[in-house]
Amino acid sequence: MATRKKAPRRGAARSSRANRLERTWTDTRSALRSAEVRVGRKVAELVEQSGLPTHELQRRAEAWRVRLGQEGRKARKRALAGLAELQKRARRDGRSLSRGVDDAVARALAALNIPTRQEVQELSRQVARLSARVDRLRR
């Protein structure tokens, strides 16, 4: 007799995903800190080489910060719009899939000559009506 493989526990899978996500987040933060340090060094080096007055460098840095903020907001809006579209498509596709499964189940039940829930309910209503009619005729 063949032995059946045990499916992995769902809790373990969630825990594994959570650990992976946490590891990714930690690695990302570490990479950002490292990048910030490198950028800071490079900026200090460029400031030293440029010979520009500090207030001019501050003005340019502020202009860059504003521009980066604007572009970041635009990117966020685009990402949210894309996410909303994906969610809309997922809902639509989910409904379509559900209808397809319902149709397939109905065809399978019909092929096996098994009544559907609606047919059973209709037959139950007919039996109830006939029972009431028989009771009235007996009186």
Per the domain annotation, does 108 fall within a domain?
A: yes
Looking at the domain assignment, is residue 124 inside a domain? yes
pTM beyond 0.75: the answer is: no
Residue at 136 is within a domain? yes
For the chain, how far is it from start to end, CA to CA, in angstroms? 64
Residue 119: Cβ within 10 Å count: 11
**Which pLDDT score, from 0 to 100, does residue 77 have?**
92
pLDDT of residue 58: 83
Q: Could you tell me the pLDDT band of residue 134, with boundaries at 50, 70 and 90?
A: very high
pLDDT in tens, 104-116: 988 998 899 998 8
Average pLDDT, the chain: 86
Contact call for residues 106 and 116 (beta carbons, < 8 A): yes
pLDDT at 7 over 80: no
Query: Quick one: three-class SS letters along 42-53?
Result: HHHHHHHHHCCC
Both tokens assigned to 73 = 């907001």
Averaged pLDDT, 72-94: 92
pLDDT for the residue numbered 54: 80
Domain that holds residue 118: 77-139
pLDDT band at 4 (very low <50, low <70, confident <90, very high): low
Question: Does the structure show a pLDDT above 90 at 6?
Answer: no
- Whether 47 is in a domain gets the answer no
What is the average pLDDT across 127-132?
95
Rounded CA-CA distance 41/55 in Å is 19
| Residue 130 confidence (pLDDT) | 94
- Is 121 inside any structural domain? yes
Q: Which residue has the higher pLDDT, 53 or 14?
A: 53
With respect to residue 61, please indicate whether it lies within any of the assigned structural domains.
no
**Domain count across the chain:** 1
Domain annotation covers residue 92: yes
